[in-house]
Amino acid sequence: MSEDLRPPLTTTTSLWPAGAVLGLAIVVLVGFMLVNVIANPRVQRVPTTLAVVVGGLDVASTSPARQLCNATASIPADVLSGLLNPANSVVRPGGSIINQGAGDFDCVETFLTAHASPSAILSFYNGQLATRGWSLFSQGTSSGAPQSLFQKAGSDGFYWIIGVTVTGHDSTSTTWKLRLYQNSETI
């Protein structure tokens, strides 16, 4: 056993392959970024128009429901578009904003619409709200009063509900309530 002990062989490890991979990754990333900038410089918003609902009641030029419910300016614009009224509608006493400033938003307004049947009121909202992105999720009667409930995901991260309930009618007019409230569940 007379071997001479020798120091271990030294080898050098080159960083050039790792540097080449990093350089290639940077070149590819910059290349894709340039393609993205050249091919799609900006997202173009295409203006949309609302479909015209033919037949039934006309949309009023001003919305008393929007005036009361948006007094606090806490309703997102995409939800506010659903606050509309049929023509010949007038506000009845008793409208209110419930829980104002206490979290969930809740607005109730009572209307009287001349020359309209209960089915015409509900049909008006079925057609008009559907064209504005609202989904009808419940239709029926509540305590004998016909009603429709619509839902929409607002841009504020909450679901919003519009409820239309017919409260009375005679041969010349219909009384009904519009309720807009913010569901406490987030999207």
Per-residue pLDDT tens digits for 161-183: 999 999 888 888 899 888 888 87
d(CA 29, CA 130): 44
Does the pLDDT at position 128 exceed 90? no
Instruction: Name the pLDDT band for 53 (thresholds 50, 70, 90).
Output: low
Tell me the DSSP string of 69-94: HGGG--S-HHHHTT---BTTEEEEEE
Q: What would the two tokens of residue 86 be?
A: 């049929």
Q: How confident is the model at residue 102 (pLDDT cuts 50, 70, 90)?
A: very low
Q: What would the pLDDT profile of 12-46 be if each residue is shown by its tens digit?
A: 778 888 999 999 999 999 999 988 888 876 666 66
Query: Residue 31, Cβ neighbours under 10 Å: how many?
Result: 10
Amino acid at 40: N
Put simply, whether the predicted model's pTM sits higher than 0.85 gets the answer no
The CATH fold of domain 64-186: TATA-Binding Protein (3.30.310)
